[in-house]
Amino acid sequence: MQVIINAAMTIDGKIATRKGDSAISSKDDLARVHRLRSAADAVVVGISTVIADNPKLTVRLVKGRNPARVIVDSNARIPLDSQILLSASKVRTIIAVTKGAPKEKILKIKDMGAAVVVAGAKGNVDVSKMFLALEEMGIRKVLVEGGGELNWSILQTGIIDDLIVTIAPIIAGGRSATTLVEGEGFAKISDSIKFKLIRVLRKRSGEVVLHYKPVR
């Protein structure tokens, strides 16, 4: 499995404002993300991103095929009127839940055309188990598009191959604004995950796209 994390953040490391506005990237950078999507077998996001943004997660700004959409959603909270579920009969959609997710909601999700994968007994979705299940479904290349909580869980598994971050020349501030990586975090810098910078792209928009690979 190849796993890429892609995100856009402000100079101060926020991926959304304190009110959840995440319209950070330029159209040009969004087209780059759509190209990445079309080269992936699946795009993976956390349920809070679906609730905040109601995204489609399809390929629209470039020509290319749609990847499967995978929503990491322990308790099957995904709204039945979300763009993801409303388009689930047309674009492959997988909702990753735990055994604790309500059965009736799972039936409704399946009725709308989405597949449901159970990964973990309770608490959060076990992302390692989820990736194994996705592999069994023929998914080999995954693009993780956040948010911060999911980025932390996936970074912790140590299975990521690439981290691509766009830094937009803006500052959003806000102590409650979501940052690139949330979760518990490490206590010591010596424990943190180390990366090497392999490419820098400077855009006319003033954005910088940084491509990192983890140091193994």
Ligand X SMILES: NC(=O)c1ccc[n+]([C@@H]2O[C@H](COP(=O)([O-])OP(=O)(O)OC[C@H]3O[C@@H](n4cnc5c(N)ncnc54)[C@H](OP(=O)(O)O)[C@@H]3O)[C@@H](O)[C@H]2O)c1
Q: Catalog residues that contact ligand X under the rule CB under 6 A.
A: 7-8, 15-16, 20, 22, 24, 45-49, 52-53, 72-75, 77, 124-125, 127, 145-150, 153, 178, 182
Nearer to ligand X, 89 or 171 (CB): 171
Minimum separation from the CB atom of position 52 to ligand X (A): 4
Minimum separation from the CB atom of position 73 to ligand X (A): 5
Minimum separation from the CB atom of position 167 to ligand X (A): 11
Q: Rounded to the nearest 10 degrees, how much is the dihedral formed by the CA atoms of 113, 34, 29, 128?
A: 70
Minimum separation from the CB atom of position 204 to ligand X (A): 20
Nearer to ligand X, 19 or 89 (CB): 19
> In whole angstroms, what is the distance from residue 55 CA to residue 75 CA?
19
CB contact at 8 A, 50 and 22: no
Q: C-alpha distances in angstroms, 107 versus 89, 111, 198?
A: 14, 6, 45
Minimum separation from the CB atom of position 185 to ligand X (A): 13
Nearer to ligand X, 16 or 209 (CB): 16
Nearer to ligand X, 71 or 91 (CB): 71
Nearer to ligand X, 103 or 215 (CB): 103
Minimum separation from the CB atom of position 157 to ligand X (A): 9
Q: What residue number has its CB nearest to ligand X?
A: 147
CB contact at 8 A, 41 and 137: no
Residue whose token pair is 């956040």:
146
Nearer to ligand X, 89 or 100 (CB): 100
Q: C-alpha distances in angstroms, 81 versus 105, 165, 178, 208?
A: 13, 31, 25, 36
Residue whose token pair is 């388009």:
87
**Alpha helices per DSSP H over the chain:** 27-38, 47-53, 83-86, 103-111, 127-136, 148-157
